[in-house]
Structure 1
Amino acid sequence: MNTKTVRIGIAGINGRVGRLLREEVVAAGAIVAGGSTRNGIMEPASSDAAGPACPIFTSIADLAKVCDVVIDFTNVATVRMHAQALAQAGTAWVLGTTGLGEEDQAAVDAAAQRIAVVQAANFSPGVTLMTRLARQMAAALPGSEYDAEILEMHHRQKVDAPSGTALAIGNAVADGRGIVLKDHMEAARDGHTGPRADDAIGFAVLRGGQIVGEHSVIFTSANEQISLTHRSFNRRIYATGAVRAAQWIETRGPGLYSMENVLGLE
């Protein structure tokens, strides 16, 4: 595939990740075909690495018309609208928005019947591998013997807790054990909570400073403990991974894909 011909659109191009995406698309040799903003104005680039100015739209449907792929790290409130517009346009979708409800996810699933969609809570290759390992470890370490806990820390401005990445790790642990996360999740412990239940998947959430993201999954038995930890030093890793996904998905048919597919793990 000649990646220079891939036309990539960036939803929310003025956002923190949107600005990095613009630079990473250029660095990857692809084309920044356009971006979307609320007011139709693109803020000036902070460096020459962002490349030349591109068309700006307020409508995701208009952006979709000029792109092969749209990368979307916007807001959960836009998911259903974006799903419909991109499916109608036949434009592939790289979706990094988290916090989706059942109706939001249903809209993504419906779009994937018509277009190629890569959906991930985190586009870091390291987090993708960590999540896969967490699933394998959970399958090998029974909940009756090994307690599973997930610890995460993010910057003080983060509004959701647990993070989408922490939930993705929790879902991987649940998948490995053949259970459903929502039925075994312990995200709030306060007061006299009683003993820990078998198969419980615990979450601890820390917030402070400007930490980009730290995640650990910890399996503890009466005799040993195994931990996996990932630390993000820069949000650019998410942008780099998303652009890699956009270049990969451009030639794929309709379907719902993950970063494991992009990395050749599935």
Structure 2
Amino acid sequence: MNRFFVCALIILLKITPAAHAQIVTLDYYFNHETHKTKDGIKRFHYLWDDEQNTGFSKWGAMFKANGLILDTLDKAPTLANLRNSSVYIIVDPDTKKETANPNYIKANDAEQIALWVKAGGVLVLMANDSANVELPHFNTLAAKFGLHFNNDLPNHVIDDDHFKDGEAMYVDNAIFKSNPKIFLKDVCSISLNDPAAKAVFKSADGASVIAATVKYGKGVVFAVGDPWLYNEYVNGRLTAIYQNDIAAKELTLWLKKQTKK
């Protein structure tokens, strides 16, 4: 075997896995919160590499354990910017309280994202209670899929002695097959305005849809009224009866299954 062939084979082996791997991209554009630290102004909240309670490092590790590659997008989403992404996650778009000059989701952003989903993309929309998320522009995007995040507060939990108020009730177990007991605190509900949209689980009192899926073209959307799967609640500080960590693993597997190679 000559040297040229060996070198070419090594290069091929190095690039082939990445070329065929699914990429899960986390939005860093609509959510771009910062805070002051002793080292200066730093990004925080829902970052792949944040191992504190505020981060997504645990969920990110689950994606990597299942063969997906983590990526981020710190500019406006376009078909070109999303072309290599199999999964795109938008979490808790900024308000002016969180960021001096937030990047709101505009009509063109929503159109580009919808075209990407229609072509086979897997989109995850994670809102928050209305005091901590910019809902009007987020709903510009949600409306593309027959969804609407409401300005309300199901599953309000006043303190750690009232965890039960944050439980969720399953409507459909297609994603969460082991029926894990899950907790979502202070969320917003979701109105389903398209017959294709399906409730996944409801609030503790059963009155409000707080997670849903909808097929859109060749792709699919998973929407939930809370950031939910950040480190603090997977299972950073939950009591042992709650299984958000198991739910996170099952959602990860489901998202991977929806992707197009």
Q: Same fold (TM over 0.5)?
A: no
| TM-score for both structures, normalised by structure 2 | 0.38
More helix by share: 1
